[in-house]
Amino acid sequence: MSRYLVKDKVAIVTGSSQGIGKAIAIALCAKGAKVVLNSRSLEPLQKTEAELKSMGFEVLAVQGDVSIYEDCERLVNETVSAFGQIDILINNAAISSEGSIQDTSPEVFEKMFRVNLMGVINPTKAALSYIKKTKGSIVFTGSISGFMGLPNYSAYSSSKMALTSLVQALKLELVGTGVHVGLNYVGFTENEEHKTFITAEGNLEAVPVRKQFAKMSREKVANHFVKGIEKRKYKQTLTLLGKILKLVQQYFPAIFERVLILVYKRQQKNNIMPEK
């Protein structure tokens, strides 16, 4: 099968003012795509837009919250007004949380599902008719946390696990349309220093800095996304640790559970926020 060319394609990357989304936007631009950047906060979004423009890239920033359907319609309409079409949608925006089911407030669960689930459904629904016209790509940012329900991460891991069934359904619904659907299970990645998570009580806190061990750079993650689009890959698991965890979870679920219990007990004992 010949490679799908990203050059001159129009891409929307949700949640791209920083982090993995920004790295994906840069990687797509470097291949010659025109990229629409998005996030809720305006200032960092405009800063990223200016940075990418100064690199000579064709980008447009559209502020908006992916959990609100009207914002996603506006994101799509402004993209089409500026560039005439949509070829690629990267559903990347998401938030993280921490806390057991007992401790986590219903409002936090609701927010997690609104952003991490409705926040991929809304842009997909809003952009789908345009992507069908171009026979483009819709790619989702999954997580190795979505292989299995994780203690202390129930809201995040269940929101990421639900992506698998959404993507499976979408892929089957789009058979024969020429649209590529992809899901990338991202493993431990270098975090932005500004990355935050929601506590069980609903407060925003900074994610602790990760140790170097087993982390992938954001640039490498982004290159996997671009290669996945070029080769029209369905599912990819990133990082060696991610691949190992997937195999252990699949073939030795009891061992996987034991490890999760040990980690959870250690967290409870030390009352620490684990790395994500």
Ligand X SMILES: NC(=O)c1ccc[n+]([C@@H]2O[C@H](COP(=O)([O-])OP(=O)(O)OC[C@H]3O[C@@H](n4cnc5c(N)ncnc54)[C@H](OP(=O)(O)O)[C@@H]3O)[C@@H](O)[C@H]2O)c1
Strands 204-206 and 196-198: antiparallel
Give the type of residue at 106.
P
Q: Which CB, 68 or 80, lies closer to ligand X?
A: 68
CA gap 47, 49 in Å, rounded: 5
156 belongs to the catalytic site: yes
Q: What is the 3-state secondary structure (H, E, C) of the chain?
A: CCCCCCCCCEEEECCCCCHHHHHHHHHHHHCCCEEEEEECCHHHHHHHHHHHHHCCCCEEEEECCCCCHHHHHHHHHHHHHHHCCCCEEEECCCCCECECCCCCCHHHHHHHHHHHHHHHHHHHHHHHHHHHHHCCEEEEEEEHHHCCCCCCEHHHHHHHHHHHHHHHHHHHHCCCCCCEEEEEEECCECCCCCCEEECCCCCEEECCCCCCCCCECHHHHHHHHHHHHHCCCCEEECCHHHHHHHHHHHHCHHHHHHHHHHHHHHHHHHCCCCCC
* Footprint (CB under 6 A) of ligand X, residues 208-267: none
Judged by beta carbon, residue 21 or residue 136, the one nearer ligand X is: 21
- Of 11-19, 82-90, 126-134, 229-237, which part binds ligand X (CB under 6 A)? 11-19
Binding window for ligand X (CB under 6 A); candidates: 15-23, 54-62, 97-105, 244-252: 15-23
User: Is 73 or 192 the residue whose CB approaches ligand X more closely?
Assistant: 192
Stretch that binds ligand X, among 8-16, 101-109, 246-254, 256-264 (CB under 6 A): 8-16
Asked if 94 touches ligand X (CB under 6 A), the answer is yes
Task: Decide whether 16 or 33 has the Cβ nearer to ligand X.
Answer: 16
Q: Given the complex with ligand X, which of 132 and 233 has the nearer CB atom?
A: 233
123 binds ligand X (CB under 6 A): no
Of the candidates 6, 18, 147, 167, which one interacts with ligand X according to CB under 6 A? 18
Region of 64-72, 121-129, 174-182, 260-268 interacting with ligand X (CB under 6 A): 64-72
Place of tokens 């506006």: 74
Identified binder of ligand X from the candidate list 115, 117, 167, 198, rule CB under 6 A: 115
| 19 makes contact with ligand X (CB under 6 A) | yes
Among 79, 104, 122, 141, binds ligand X (CB under 6 A): 141
Selecting among 130, 153, 156, 185, the annotated active-site residue is 156
Q: Annotated active-site positions, please?
A: 156
Q: Give the residues lining the site for ligand X (CB under 6 A).
A: 14-21, 38-41, 65-67, 92-95, 115, 119, 141, 143, 186, 188-189, 191-192, 195, 276
